[in-house]
Amino acid sequence: MEITKISSALSNKTRLEVMRWLKYPDQYFTPHVEVEGFEMGVCVGKIHEKSGLSQSTISHYLSILQNAELVIATRIGKWTYYKPNEITIKNYLMALKSNI
């Protein structure tokens, strides 16, 4: 868990927004028909639609969030679902609290 890498991932408005969308998926998305609820998270296409940025940019942003271990990706069929990585998030908030 690298604090600066995580902070860097969160230093972009869209990526921070994506994290909020993934935290409260039912407030921002309709569930994907293929899977029940948001157990696995939200698929790239829905995040892409909401963002207004290109598909490649969103895919790249999700890889940055994943590289910072802020999200967990699960591939099911054609889709990749992303959800928050609660463990990293908790550790990050605790580490920040003792550092700043």
Question: Is residue 64 at the binding interface for a second copy, with CB under 8 A as the rule?
Answer: no
Task: Tell me how many degrees the CA angle 58-64-66 measures, rounded to the nearest 5.
Answer: 105
CA distance 21 to 78: 21
Question: Is residue 30 at the binding interface for DNA, with CB under 7 A as the rule?
Answer: no
Among 1, 12, 34, 75, binds a second copy (CB under 8 A): 12
* 12 DSSP assignment: S
Question: Is residue 39 at the binding interface for DNA, with CB under 7 A as the rule?
Answer: no
* 31 DSSP assignment: P
The partner in contact with residue 68, picked from DNA, a second copy, none with C-beta cut-offs of 5 to 8 angstroms by kind, is none
- Determine contact, residues 74/81, Cβ cutoff 8 Å: yes
Question: Is residue 70 at the binding interface for a second copy, with CB under 8 A as the rule?
Answer: yes
Residue 23 φ then ψ, to 5°: -70, -40
Stretch that binds DNA, among 20-28, 51-59, 88-96 (CB under 7 A): 51-59
> How many separate helices (H) and strands (E) can be counted in the chain?
6, 3
Among 17, 35, 38, 45, binds DNA (CB under 7 A): 45
Q: Which residues in this chain contact a second copy in the complex, by CB under 8 A?
A: 3-5, 7-8, 10-13, 16, 19-20, 23, 70, 84, 89, 92-93, 96-97, 99-100
